[in-house]
Amino acid sequence: MSKRVLTTESGAPVADNRNSASAGIGGPLLLQDQHLLEKLARFNRERIPVGAPPTPLRQWGRVMHARGSGAYGYFEVTDDATGFTCADFLASVGERTEAFVRFSTVADSPGGADAVRDPRGFAVKFYTAEGNDDLVGNNTPVFFVKDPIKFPDFIHSQKRDPFTGRREPHNVRDFWAHAPEATHQVTWLMADRGIPASYRHMNGYGSRTYQWTNAEGEAFFVEYHFKTNQGVRSLSSEQAAKPAGKDPNSHQTDLLQAIERGVNPSWTLYVQITPAAEAADNRFNPFGLTKVWPHRDHPLQRVGRLVLDLNQDNVFTEVEQATFSPNNFVPGIGPSPDKMLQGRLFAYADAHRYRLGVNHTPLAVNAPKATTAQNHGRDGLMAADAQGRHAKNYEPNSYDGPVETGRPLSAPLAVTGHTGTHEAPLHTKDDDFFQAGELYRLMSAEERQRLVANIAGGLSQVTRDDMIEKNLAHFHAADPEYGRRVAETVRALRED
């Protein structure tokens, strides 16, 4: 019996559903990749909004990061970064820039609990003098997949099953069984930091790799680390059950009350830097979201501190209508060839245009503060700005309209080779299991025990032996002891 063929919406066969099309091996992704754009755009529209069109006043639900909290504050530069970037808001020690931060769970619905085992979104909007710079990350430095074409598939496996209406252990572990690159993130998620005690007590990471460019035009690739100044605190599965049932809004309550008391949470921003010319020589692919950059190769360098000191006035107006997009850059900051970043340059903005409409950018929480947006966007749903009685909506024009600067925001990315789908280039230490094993071996005996119990608890609910064995093979490959202990615990739980 021949297998069914995977196709696009138009019925054309899909040749490669694991790798997005890029400009050569390791180059930026291409707009011509119809399969990638179709998957991402459709995924963004899979939740029917409350008050569907044509009702103008509607609440559009996020398909991801639906349950969130936020606060305003500022970012203050504490260390000189001008050798690496010409970004104006990072140019002077002591310079303060207004900021807004949104924290969130990833997979759950707006009605879910805060204290659950799930990655956390960590999104920062810097209201700089040259426009908004958005940094969209998580509380983990790695992720489950390394190519955006697999993101909709991954989330489908984690969301509620279309038949049972609940999250199915079979679906979750089936995807992980076929995604060996997820082993590193699974180890993070199932370990002690998988359930933060609060948003204040977790780190934030840019996760994806970005590019910085200095005044001389030299390019660097950078990883962001926001280290909590409150100390990392997490909950065990047993500890989390109480706040999840008693106060599902536990993280929201904690953040709100802390700021109201004047106990303003803060994070120190560190970066890891590698010159663009040296990126190919890194032991690990610097653009692979399933890998971290070892600190001994790229030490942390302090840049500044992020402080939250003001709560929102209205959760819906500000927190829920806040939009973040990793393609909101300012001069001196730009994209890298990181495939997950490249896919999200399109996906985030596309999701906002669907969820809130094309005129979400002038909303107060999203609008730039120190400058005024000057472009020729017009009309659309909820258009409120007439843009002047005689203003022209094209460029160039003869009526003193805004003009281009000719100054690129960041250095160009070099590309070679042919367009098409390519496996990511392998570096000397690149495999799907090495760093997961390193993480396991860093843990104490107690941490390992809790990790094994968390993994085995879900895996033991899977009824297909072949699916269990595929998952166990990943943990064995990461570390023989890791795999053996998970296997023994799964076997014991299934025999009970």
Q: What is the pLDDT of residues 431-490, one digit of tens each?
A: 999 999 999 999 999 999 999 999 999 999 999 999 999 999 999 999 999 999 999 999
pLDDT of residue 55: 43
Q: Look over the chain and give the mean of its residue pLDDT values, rounded to a whole number.
A: 91
Instruction: Judge whether 104 and 352 are in contact, CB under 8 Å.
Output: no
Bridge-based pairing state of the strands 266-275 and 68-77: unpaired
Non-local (6+) Cβ contacts of 329 within 8 A are 133, 335, 409, 410
Instruction: Judge whether 483 and 452 are in contact, CB under 8 Å.
Output: no
Rounded Cα–Cα distance for residues 273 and 286 (Å): 10
Instruction: Judge whether 46 and 63 are in contact, CB under 8 Å.
Output: yes
Q: Report the interhelical angle of 465-478 vs 480-495 (nearest 10°).
A: 150
pLDDT tens string 261-309? 999 999 999 999 999 999 988 999 999 999 999 999 999 999 999 999 9
- Does 65 qualify as catalytic in the annotation? yes
How far lies 25's CA from each of 20, 150, 244, 411, 424, in Å?
11, 18, 45, 19, 7
97 closest CA partner among 115, 119, 117, 78: 78
pLDDT of residue 54: 43
Instruction: Judge whether 371 and 343 are in contact, CB under 8 Å.
Output: no
Q: H helices of 308-401, where?
A: 339-355
Rounded Cα–Cα distance for residues 67 and 253 (Å): 13
Q: H helices of 214-289, where?
A: 237-246, 250-260
Calculate the CA 7 to chain-centre distance.
28
pLDDT tens string 327-340? 999 999 999 999 99
pLDDT tens string 365-393? 999 998 777 887 777 777 777 666 678 88
Which architecture does CATH list for 60-146+193-368?
Beta Barrel (2.40)
How far lies 494's CA from each of 175, 259, 459, in Å?
21, 46, 10
Please, what sign has the CA dihedral across residues 141, 142, 146, 151? negative
Instruction: Judge whether 218 and 411 are in contact, CB under 8 Å.
Output: yes
**Per-position b or e across 268-294, b if 16+ CB within 10 A of its CB:** bbbbbbbebeebeebebbbbbbbbbbe
Q: Which of 19, 44, 65, 328 is catalytic?
A: 65
pLDDT of residue 60: 47
Q: Which of 132, 138, 282, 366 is catalytic?
A: 138
Tokens of 75: 């970012």
Mean pLDDT calculated for residue range 321-332: 93
0.85 exceeded by pTM? yes
The dihedral over CA atoms of 233, 187, 423, 349, expressed in degrees to the nearest 10, equals -40
**Strand ranges inside 53-149, DSSP E:** 68-77, 96-105, 120-128, 131-138
**Per-position b or e across 349-370, b if 16+ CB within 10 A of its CB:** bbbbbbbbbebbbebebbebee
Per domain, the residue ranges of the chain are 60-146+193-368, 434-495
- Does 138 qualify as catalytic in the annotation? yes
pLDDT tens string 225-265? 999 999 999 999 999 999 888 889 999 999 999 999 999 99
pLDDT tens string 195-224? 999 999 999 999 899 999 999 999 999 999
**H or E segment and range at residue 271:** strand 266-275
